[in-house]
């Protein structure tokens, strides 16, 4: 029987980051502006501007994080190659320690470590994974991360803002926006739980509550300052 494991955790993480912020931040902004203005034009304009700026900022953050991960791995890999050349016996000892942690006896540790030392690339790959806990990142990871985060942020942001396009007043738009966004937040929480293996209701309610609190705080603050 073939084992099945989830292979796209990084892409899912990017989707979750972009969508959760996209649903929450523009929703809170629109709710806050509703507490200060009666018309929808300013809310729509500000909301679209925020979505554009937010998607770029979030996408750039994802890109920089991906590049940093790649650069960090490359730097550690270079250092590891230098160590197996200049500190050969030290690396042999460290390799043996790794196998000792898995219960191998001294003879097997010595044999396997010496055999691995004959193949520098495989040895470095082994040490990167088991000594440093690093997996080789995808070279396309940075661009993929930026794209997924930015697009999911835009999609998430347009959901709460869409209600204002078809409403005459900001309060009317807020009512529809609340209904649409809360349903989407709850649905997003369910999807997130399925992708990450978390309890369904717990994840759905947590995502929804965060969105409600953010919007309520923004609306209350704007209403207070506008008095």
Contacts with 128 (C-beta within 8 Å, 6 or more apart), sequence order? 73, 76, 77, 80, 134, 135, 136
Residue 6's pLDDT is: 45
Mean pLDDT score of the chain, rounded to an integer?
81
Q: Region 50-72: what's the mean pLDDT?
A: 90
Of residues 79 and 103, more confidence is placed in 79
* Residue 140 token pair: 């396309």
What's the pLDDT band for 55 if we cut at 50, 70, 90? very high
Question: Do 30 and 41 form a contact (C-beta atoms < 8 A)?
Answer: no
Cβ count near 8 (within 10 Å): 10
Tell which residue, 20, 19, 26, has the closest CA to residue 177. Answer: 26
Write the pLDDT tens digit of every residue in 5-25: 444 577 778 888 888 788 888
* Residue 172 token pair: 């009317």
| Site of tokens 């691995």 | 116
Question: Do 10 and 194 form a contact (C-beta atoms < 8 A)?
Answer: no
| Site of tokens 């347009």 | 158
Residue 175's pLDDT is: 83
**What share of the chain in percent tops pLDDT 70?**
84
- The CA distance from 40 to 32, in Å, is 12
What's the pLDDT band for 207 if we cut at 50, 70, 90? low
């Amino acid at each position: 029987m073939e084992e099945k494991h989830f292979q796209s955790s990084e892409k899912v993480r990017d989707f979750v980051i972009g969508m959760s912020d996209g649903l929450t931040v523009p929703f809170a902004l629109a709710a806050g502006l509703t507490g200060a203005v009666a018309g929808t034009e300013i809310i729509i304009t500000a909301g679209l501007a925020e979505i554009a700026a937010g998607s770029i900022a979030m996408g750039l953050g994802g890109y920089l994080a991906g590049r940093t991960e790649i650069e960090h791995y490359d730097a550690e890999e270079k250092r590891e190659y230098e160590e197996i050349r200049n500190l050969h016996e030290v690396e042999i000892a460290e390799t043996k320690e790794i196998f000792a942690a898995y219960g191998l006896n001294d003879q097997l540790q010595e044999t396997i470590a010496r055999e691995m030392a004959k193949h520098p690339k495989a040895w470095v790959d082994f040490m990167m994974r088991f000594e440093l806990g690093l997996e080789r990142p995808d070279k396309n990871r940075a661009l993929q991360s930026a794209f997924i985060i930015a697009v999911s942020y835009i999609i998430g942001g347009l959901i709460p803002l869409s209600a204002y396009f078809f409403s005459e007043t900001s309060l009317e738009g807020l009512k529809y926006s609340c209904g649409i966004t809360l349903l989407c937040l709850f649905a997003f929480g369910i999807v997130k739980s399925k992708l990450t293996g978390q309890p369904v209701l717990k994840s759905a309610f947590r995502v929804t509550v965060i969105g409600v609190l953010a919007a309520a705080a923004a609306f209350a603050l704007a209403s207070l300052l506008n008095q």
